[in-house]
C-alpha cells in the first residue's frame, strides 16, 4: 500500500518535504490501460500500459492496477513524493464522480474513487477519458490557446471531449459529449450500449473490424482477411493489410473515413469549433484513415464553414493526452480541496 500523505488530526503531514512532487495519471481504455508519472511541471517521467481485460471484473482490474502502480512507483519512491492519482475512464459522470455503465467496460455503475481509497491514502480524482484528452490537448497539445474545439478519441469505442468558450462541456447531468453514441443508422449495427446504429459501431477499432466482416460478405474481392476469424482480428492488422493493398482492408478504411468525415461535418454544424483533433490507434495508421477523412469532411461540410475548421492529429501517443489531462485535473482538484479545507485534505 502506498501512503505518501498521512492524515493525523485532520492536518496534512507530508513526510517528503524535500522530495519532488509527482502525480500518477491513469487512462483506462476498453482494451489497454496507460499509467504515467508526471511532475508538477507536467513532464511525463514514465509511461507504461497493460491490457485492461474488463471481462475479469472491476475488482480484479483494480487489484492489477494497484500492483502496477506500486511496481512503477517503487522506482521513484526515494526521490519523489506522490501527491495524487488522476484517473481517466469512459462513462465518468462529472457530477456524481463515478463511472456509470460505460459501453465498453461491462462493470455497471462503479464508485471507482471509493474502491481506490482501499489501497491509497493520496487524493484520487476521476474524469471522463475524452474530457481528460481534451484538457491534455488544451494545456499541453494541439489545442493550446483554443476556446472552441473537439477532441475525438478513436479506440475500442469513440469518445469526445468538447470545449465551448474555453470550458469543457458537461451538460445538465455531467454527461455531454457522448458522440460515440449518436445513432447514425436506424436498425444499424448492435452497440454495447443496448441500442443499434451508434457511431462507434462504425468508427472505432471495433467498428472497422465489423466493416471488414461486412465487406467480406458484400464484396467478392480476393483478400487475405478471409483467412482470419473475427475474434483474432484487430485494427492494427487491418492497417497492415491495407498498407499491402488488400482491397477489403482499403475499402474498410474508405468506408470508415466517409462516416467519420460526415460525422465531423455534422459536429461542425452543431458547435462551429475552431478545430477537431483526432487521436487513437486508428488515426495513427499512416494516412490510411486521415486522407479519405479529409476528403469526405470537405465533401460533407456546409459551405459556410469551408476553410474555417482545422482538422488536426494529436501529437501525443495513445493515452498520453488523457494521462496528462487526468493529472492536470487531479492537481486542480487538490488545489481546490486545499482552498476549500484550509490546507487540510480529507481522504476519508
Q: Which residues bind its own copies (CB under 8 A)?
A: 100-101, 147-148, 162, 164-165, 167, 169-179, 181-183, 186, 193-195, 258, 262, 265-266, 269-274, 300, 302-305, 308
Q: How far is the CB of 14 from its own copies (least distance, A)?
A: 36
Nearer to its own copies, 23 or 134 (CB): 134
If the CB atoms of residues 3 and 190 are measured against its own copies, the closer one turns out to be 190
Shortest distance, CB of residue 9 to its own copies, whole angstroms? 40
- CB nearer to its own copies: give 38 or 191: 191
Alpha-carbon dihedral angle through residues 9, 12, 15, 17, given to the nearest 10 degrees: -150
Cα atoms found within 13 Å of the Cα of residue 50, Cβ hemisphere only = 16
Instruction: Decide: 25 and 331 in contact? Cβ < 8 Å.
Output: no
User: Alpha helix (H) ranges present in the chain?
Assistant: 58-76, 112-117, 129-140, 205-218, 235-243, 247-271, 290-300, 320-340
Report the C-alpha gap between 254 and 199 in whole angstroms: 15
Rounded to the nearest whole angstrom, what is the least distance from the CB of residue 270 to its own copies in the complex?
6
Q: How far is residue 164 CA from its own chain's centroid? A: 19
- Helix%, strand%, coil% for the chain, nearest 5: 40, 25, 35
Which of 17, 186 has the CB closer to its own copies?
A: 186
Return the CA Rg of the chain. Answer: 21
**Best CA proximity match to 26, nearest among 291, 348, 325:** 325
Cell of 152: 475525438
Q: How far is the CB of 171 from its own copies (least distance, A)?
A: 2
Beta carbon of residue 130, minimum distance to its own copies (angstroms, whole number) = 13
b/e 30-53 (16+ beta carbons within 10 angstroms → b): bbbbbbbbbbeeeebeebebeebe
What is the C-alpha separation between 299 and 306, in angstroms, rounded? 10
Q: Which is nearer to its own copies, 273 or 292 (CB)?
A: 273
Q: What's the closest the beta carbon of residue 295 comes to its own copies, in angstroms?
A: 14
Helix and strand counts by DSSP (H, E) for the chain = 8, 15
Question: Rounded to the nearest whole angstrom, what is the least distance from the CB of residue 147 to its own copies in the complex?
Answer: 7
Q: Which is nearer to its own copies, 173 or 336 (CB)?
A: 173
- What is the rounded CA–CA span in Å between residue 318 and residue 13? 36
Q: Which is nearer to its own copies, 50 or 305 (CB)?
A: 305
Amino acid at each position: 500500500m502506498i501512503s505518501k500523505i498521512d492524515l493525523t488530526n485532520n492536518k496534512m503531514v507530508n513526510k517528503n518535504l524535500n522530495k519532488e512532487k509527482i502525480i500518477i495519471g491513469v487512462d483506462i481504455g476498453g482494451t489497454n490501460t496507460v499509467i504515467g508519472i508526471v511532475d508538477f511541471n507536467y513532464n511525463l517521467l514514465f509511461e507504461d500500459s497493460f491490457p485492461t481485460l474488463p471481462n475479469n471484473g472491476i475488482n480484479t482490474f483494480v487489484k492489477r492496477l494497484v500492483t502496477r502502480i506500486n511496481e512503477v512507483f517503487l522506482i521513484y519512491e526515494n526521490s519523489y513524493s506522490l501527491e495524487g492519482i488522476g484517473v481517466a475512464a469512459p462513462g465518468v459522470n462529472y457530477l456524481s464522480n463515478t463511472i456509470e455503465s460505460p459501453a465498453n467496460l461491462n462493470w455497471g455503475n462503479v464508485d471507482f474513487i471509493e474502491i481506490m481509497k482501499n489501497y491509497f491514502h493520496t487524493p484520487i480524482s476521476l474524469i471522463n477519458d475524452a474530457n481528460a484528452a481534451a484538457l491534455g490537448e488544451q494545456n499541453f497539445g494541439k489545442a493550446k490557446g483554443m476556446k472552441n474545439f473537439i477532441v475525438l478519441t478513436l479506440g475500442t469505442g469513440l469518445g469526445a471531449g468538447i470545449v465551448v468558450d474555453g470550458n469543457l462541456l458537461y451538460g445538465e447531468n455531467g454527461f455531454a459529449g457522448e458522440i460515440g453514441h449518436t445513432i447514425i443508422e436506424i436498425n444499424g449495427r448492435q452497440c454495447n450500449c443496448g441500442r443499434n446504429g451508434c457511431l462507434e459501431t462504425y468508427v472505432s477499432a471495433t467498428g472497422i473490424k465489423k466493416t471488414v466482416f461486412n465487406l467480406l460478405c458484400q464484396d467478392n474481392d480476393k483478400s487475405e482477411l478471409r483467412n482470419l476469424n473475427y475474434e483474432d482480428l484487430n485494427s492494427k492488422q487491418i492497417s497492415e493489410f491495407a498498407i499491402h493493398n488488400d482491397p477489403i482492408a482499403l475499402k474498410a478504411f474508405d468506408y470508415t473515413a466517409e462516416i467519420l468525415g460526415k460525422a465531423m461535418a455534422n459536429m461542425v454544424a452543431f458547435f462551429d469549433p475552431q478545430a477537431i483533433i483526432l487521436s487513437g490507434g486508428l488515426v495513427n495508421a499512416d494516412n490510411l484513415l486521415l486522407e479519405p477523412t479529409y476528403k469526405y469532411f470537405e465533401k460533407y461540410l456546409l459551405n459556410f464553414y469551408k476553410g474555417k475548421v482545422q482538422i488536426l492529429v494529436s501529437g501525443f501517443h495513445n493515452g498520453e493526452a488523457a494521462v496528462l489531462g487526468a493529472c492536470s485535473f487531479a492537481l486542480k482538484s487538490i488545489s481546490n480541496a486545499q482552498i476549500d479545507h484550509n490546507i487540510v485534505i480529507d481522504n476519508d
